[in-house]
Amino acid sequence: MRMTDPPKTILICSCEDTMRLDTAALRRGCRKSEIAEFRQLCRAELDHFRNATKAEGSLIVGCTQEAPLFGDEAKERSGKLEFVNLRETAGWSVDGARAGPKMAALLASASEIAPAFPFVTLSSEGVILIYGRDEAAVEAGRLLADHLDVTVMLTKPAQLIPPATTSFPIVQGTVRNAKGHLGTFELAIDDYALPRPSSRDTLVFEAPRSGLTSRCDIVLDLSGGAPLFPAHDLRDGYLRADPRDPPAMLRAVLKARDLVGSFDKPKYVNFTADICVHSRSKQTGCHRCIDLCPTGAITPDGDHVKINAEVCGGCGLCAAVCPTGAASYALPPADTLLHKLRAMLLTYREAGGANAIVLFHDDQHGTALIDALARHGDGLPANVLPFAVNEVTQIGLEAVAASFAYGAAAIRLLLRAKPLHDLTGLSQMIAMANTIVTGLGLSGQRVSAIETDDPDVLAEVLRAIEPAPAVQIPATFKTVGKRRDLLRFALHELHRVAPAPTNVIALPEGAPLGTISVNVDGCTLCLSCVSVCPTGALRDDPERPVLKFVEDACVQCGLCQSACPEKVITLKPQIDFGAARAAARIIKEEEPALCIRCSKPFGVKSTIDKIAAKLEGRHWMFPVGDKRLDVVRMCADCRVIAMSEQEFDPFKGVPERTPPRTTDDYLRQRETKD
């Protein structure tokens, strides 16, 4: 007898009739769930929630505002309990009456289980360096002296009144460079000097010294100068505020006060070194992640790269651009994200929704903007499906391709007006995605970013999007695996359901898909490219001189181009939807050179002929007509035998070299002169 999973229970609430609940649409979209509708679930009808917690199976509540209350009431529950914000994302809108399909989609997406992600631990003992210029830094030190081990360092200090009591060190110094993270900061200090204890009306410092190193757990930067770290907002333990902004300075001080102890930080990126294509044979290939990492957490490490999980800020750019999936995002993994998109878009369509626009946003910025729009504006349009992720920059081409394959009509990515880090990688992905979907018949600006901090601007942009047709019959695939496999599968499914499928589409430079162009006239079949190709896209044949290429395996890392001694290889980014089924393509093939002694193939005939022609009569070892030239046309084994039989002496006829002079020779010469 087959066991079935317990049904899912969904509790939805009209929040005192402030929004309309389309239960019929919810039941169409969530067919395998039991749906119950309430008016005031968190107060008058709380007993219904208590009863629901006793049932088996997963329980989903369409409210996040009262999640703490519901969580307390469900402490003894062992089953899954999820909360979904249906009010601000769907119900509180001028389109709320038509938001039933969207609510069903959001509930279905929340039902997908996300795996647990690993953590790294950062430890701080509370040693803080306050870096400033004036009395503001000293005042911050006074506020923190009872909580942390404080040192105040002043760069180019002006006149400063000496403290009556030295409760913490005040020194002079300038930070030349900095590295590290919460618990392990290391600062290179120049112009370091201690104050003279005899300072009277003004703090006077001793003679400065440079080249010193300072170590601390926390850095509070009140200098007002350039940040000590790139993408400083993502550096744990580094706090920065403008000393001319007292509220900002106070917030930084309060945050610093709490940075004592051990802290679990998500390990945002999982890295598999074996499939990294950064380098081979001292030739540099792919360096996309290194170029784009805003915090400098990624550095070369032999043939691969190394990701410092403690420094990583979690932007996800490395995982989004990694062509092989060596770097994969963990919040959530790429396949889990696709599962959630699949559930959301297919449920939306099944519940009666049309013209779906997926709005990717983060929690910190995007959720606050959506909430403000719902409370003080017209709310999100009924066809805009908000999809929260940890960082919008984690969105890769596989998520975009899958969204369109599942039936999305457009995609928008909500970003800050002033991004925390460079968005070059995301811009490249958007350009690539638009090129692909346009080539498949989905015309128009299907993918774009919305950079704003204003909810009214967000609403204006979303409502100005012209309706555009999506694929007629959405794909329903559900797959797991590395990002590269997901990308390949999503693209081919999109090609299958696209309105005007094209087999070959040229892509912008830097795309992780493509072919190579080889000038066959200049290629000598040395096979250096084959030896460095990390994915097996370039192949040889042990039986004959041939160079083969498998486009589906090419990640455009550029190692073949770097390793080619003749410089006849160029990259050609494109997507060929027939490449997955195509056999290896022969780029160049030549007649093998057969050993004149044992007939074993050992090289390329044209190359051996060129070598022999260049040596005969032009090199002292191989005069015209000399039998010694035959060794060039032999395999390595026969060459040794022939040279032994001929008593081949490569130094015959070469005048003896003058022996090198030693110290004894010079001393002997000096004695002779004396």
Q: Which are the contacts of 62, defined by CB distance < 8 A and separation ≥ 6?
A: 10, 11, 12, 13, 84, 85, 86, 87, 103, 107
pLDDT higher than threshold 50 for residue 598: yes
- Domains of the chain plus CATH, in order, are 121-264 (3.50.50.60), 267-329 (3.30.70.20), 349-497 (no CATH), 514-589 (3.30.70.3270)
pLDDT higher than threshold 90 for residue 3: no
What pLDDT digit, counting tens, does each position of 559-595 carry? Answer: 999 999 999 999 999 999 999 888 999 999 988 888 9
Strands (E), 72-166: 81-83, 119-124, 127-132, 149-154
pLDDT higher than threshold 70 for residue 2: no
Model confidence band, residue 649 (pLDDT cutoffs 50, 70, 90): low
Residue 277: which of 482, 535, 484, 551 has the closest Cα?
A: 535
Model confidence band, residue 1 (pLDDT cutoffs 50, 70, 90): very low
What pLDDT digit, counting tens, does each position of 486-539 carry? Answer: 999 999 999 999 999 999 999 999 999 999 999 999 998 989 999 999 999 999
The residue behind tokens 């790294």 is 120
User: Lowest mean pLDDT: which of 32-41, 151-160, 320-329, 660-669?
Assistant: 660-669
Burial 260-275 (b: 16+ CB within 10 A, else e): beebebebbbbbeeeb
Tokens standing for residue 326: 């060596």
**pLDDT over 90 percentage in the chain:** 78
Mean pLDDT of the region 128-133: 97
Tokens standing for residue 117: 């992600």
What pLDDT digit, counting tens, does each position of 194-224 carry? Answer: 999 999 889 999 999 999 999 999 999 999 9
Q: What's the confidence (pLDDT) of residue 646?
A: 74
Is 299 or 652 the better-scoring residue by pLDDT? Answer: 299
Tokens standing for residue 548: 């083969």
Model confidence band, residue 618 (pLDDT cutoffs 50, 70, 90): confident
Model confidence band, residue 432 (pLDDT cutoffs 50, 70, 90): very high
Cα(151)–Cα(140) distance, rounded to whole angstroms? 10
Q: What's the confidence (pLDDT) of residue 620?
A: 63
Model confidence band, residue 650 (pLDDT cutoffs 50, 70, 90): low
Cα(69)–Cα(500) distance, rounded to whole angstroms? 52
**Residue 28, SS3?**
helix
Strands (E), 363-492: 384-389, 410-415, 447-451
Strands (E), 7-139: 8-13, 33-38, 59-61, 81-83, 119-124, 127-132
Model confidence band, residue 604 (pLDDT cutoffs 50, 70, 90): confident
Mean pLDDT of the region 118-123: 96
Strands (E), 228-383: 238-240, 261-266, 269-271, 279-280, 283-284, 298-301, 304-307, 327-329, 357-362
Q: Which are the contacts of 478, defined by CB distance < 8 A and separation ≥ 6?
A: 338, 339, 342
pLDDT higher than threshold 70 for residue 151: yes
Average pLDDT, the chain: 93
398 Cα distance to chain centroid = 13
Q: What's the confidence (pLDDT) of residue 4?
A: 45
User: Lowest mean pLDDT: which of 21-30, 288-297, 646-655?
Assistant: 646-655
Q: What's the confidence (pLDDT) of residue 113?
A: 87
Mean pLDDT of the region 369-377: 97
Q: What's the confidence (pLDDT) of residue 621?
A: 67
User: Lowest mean pLDDT: which of 206-215, 543-552, 620-629?
Assistant: 620-629
Cα(445)–Cα(448) distance, rounded to whole angstroms? 7
